[in-house]
């Protein structure tokens, strides 16, 4: 244990300290020299640290609010590599104890993977339903063109590639082909009808009329989706900084897909579908054929039983509204950064030696867990630390 002795007297020599009165028992003063040895020495350590059960110096670096975490981490690691040459050979520097950059990199990588997986799934599903390589290719061109446009717009407005902007693109990945699919299917259907005529009309005229037929529908549908996300731009504070980039990336990519459907898609239809041999056949994919056959039965049943359909829909709506108040509420879901902070507070008065002993026991037990990659311990505080932490923490 350690005890704090506070004196208001002036001390000039060791004898002054030795003769300082601590308390009085039975009218007899108890002096410091009666219970302790007084001598000159180095300042007492008020803190200690270790890494993987080995003594070490734990340094915590915090970035400025507007600094980029990944860039700061990269520059720190570069500086530490240069510093390593000035240290004794037996001193090692480990920067992987805890880095927020690892969590950011992992999160961005997960969103990137989701973006790629979503694109692959969209490609597969498109081909299964369209069952035509050319129409699938025309529809898929909306994805890279829209994403490139969104990234250029983000760069112009100073937005970085992060989990929120990538999340906006990932959410939009399935909708980027919607406008193009509607346009391609209608053009392909009109071209098939035109190919069966005794006097077919010019292909460019058929494509123009087919695109014009659905132009208002896709424009209005896209604008409605954009309007839904506009309120996110009015959010202030932390919410605005968090969700505005997501909404921006989503809205820009959706508007870009609309522009692609109105400009690039008709041109590709003219060059790739105008003379296609499949214009002379009415063959659909097996899934579309199956859906058409069964959907007709479902549609006939729903039209004959409107009251049941409306009742079930109203009941489901009421149930959903009733469940909402019972659901838990929180601003953000819990994150798994791959690290765990353990705080241990010993009784006040515990010495640094005792705190280190308890800390070593905890570290040793943690390393017995296979999932634990490394441990870092900080006891007390550094010499010039602004935080008044005792050696018992």
Architecture of domain 109-283: Up-down Bundle (1.20)
- CA distances in angstroms from 369 to 53, 85, 339, 373, 374, listed in the order given: 14, 35, 14, 9, 10
pLDDT of residue 232: 85
Mind listing the pLDDT tens digit for each residue in 71-122?
A: 888 888 888 888 888 888 888 888 777 787 777 787 778 777 887 888 888 8
The pLDDT assigned to 388 comes to 64
Please determine, for residue 41, whether its predicted confidence score (pLDDT) is greater than 70.
Answer: yes
pLDDT at 168: 86
Q: Enumerate the domain spans of the chain.
A: 1-47, 109-283
Q: Please tell me the distance from the alpha carbon of residue 213 to that of residue 211, in angstroms, as a whole number.
A: 5
Please give the share of the chain, as a percent, with pLDDT higher than 90. Answer: 12
pTM of the model: 0.70
Q: In this predicted structure, what is the pLDDT of residue 1?
A: 67
For residues 223 and 66, the model is more confident at 223
293 Cβ contact partners less than 8 Å away, ≥ 6 residues apart: none
If residue 377 lies in a helix (H) or strand (E), which one and from where to where?
Answer: strand 376-380
The pLDDT of 358-369, averaged and rounded, is 89
Of the ranges 98-102, 158-162, 267-271, 351-355, the best mean pLDDT one: 267-271
* SS3 at position 49: strand
CA separation for the pair 35, 3 (Å, rounded): 12
Residue 224: in which H helix or E strand, if any? Answer: helix 203-229
């Amino acid at each position: 244990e350690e005890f704090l002795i506070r004196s208001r007297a002036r001390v000039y020599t060791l004898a002054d300290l030795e003769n300082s009165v601590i308390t009085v028992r039975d009218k007899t003063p108890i002096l410091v020299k009666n219970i302790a040895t007084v001598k000159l020495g180095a300042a007492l350590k008020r803190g200690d640290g270790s890494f993987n059960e080995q003594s070490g110096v734990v340094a915590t670096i915090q970035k400025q609010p507007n600094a980029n975490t990944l860039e700061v981490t990269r520059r720190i690691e570069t500086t530490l590599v240069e510093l390593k040459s000035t240290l004794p050979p037996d001193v090692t520097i480990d920067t992987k104890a805890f880095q927020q950059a690892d969590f950011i990199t992992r999160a961005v990588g997960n969103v990137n993977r989701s973006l790629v997986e979503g694109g692959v799934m969209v490609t597969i599903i498109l081909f299964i339903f369209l069952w035509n390589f050319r129409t699938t290719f025309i529809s898929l061109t909306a994805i890279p063109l829209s994403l490139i446009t969104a990234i250029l717009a983000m760069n112009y407005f100073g937005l970085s590639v992060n989990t929120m902007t990538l999340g906006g693109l990932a959410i939009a990945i399935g909708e980027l082909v919607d406008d193009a699919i509607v346009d391609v299917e209608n053009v392909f259907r009109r071209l098939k009808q035109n190919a069966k005529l005794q006097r077919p009309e010019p292909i460019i005229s058929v494509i123009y009329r087919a695109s014009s037929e659905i132009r208002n529908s896709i424009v209005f549908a896209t604008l409605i989706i954009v309007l839904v996300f506009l309120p996110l731009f009015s959010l202030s504070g932390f919410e605005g900084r968090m969700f505005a980039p997501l909404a921006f990336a989503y809205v820009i990519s959706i508007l870009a897909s609309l522009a692609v459907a109105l400009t690039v898609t008709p041109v590709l239809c003219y060059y790739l579908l105008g003379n296609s041999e499949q214009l002379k056949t009415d063959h659909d994919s097996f899934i579309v054929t199956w859906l058409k056959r069964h959907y007709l039965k479902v549609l006939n049943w729903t039209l004959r039983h409107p009251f049941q359909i409306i009742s079930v829909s109203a009941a489901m709506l009421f149930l959903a509204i009733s469940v909402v108040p019972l659901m838990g509420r929180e601003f953000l879901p819990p994150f798994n950064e791959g690290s765990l902070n353990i705080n241990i507070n010993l009784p006040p008065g515990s010495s640094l030696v005792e705190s280190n002993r308890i800390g070593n026991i905890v570290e040793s037990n943690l390393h017995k867990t296979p999932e634990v990659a490394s441990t870092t311990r900080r006891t007390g505080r550094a010499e010039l630390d602004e935080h008044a932490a005792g050696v018992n923490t």
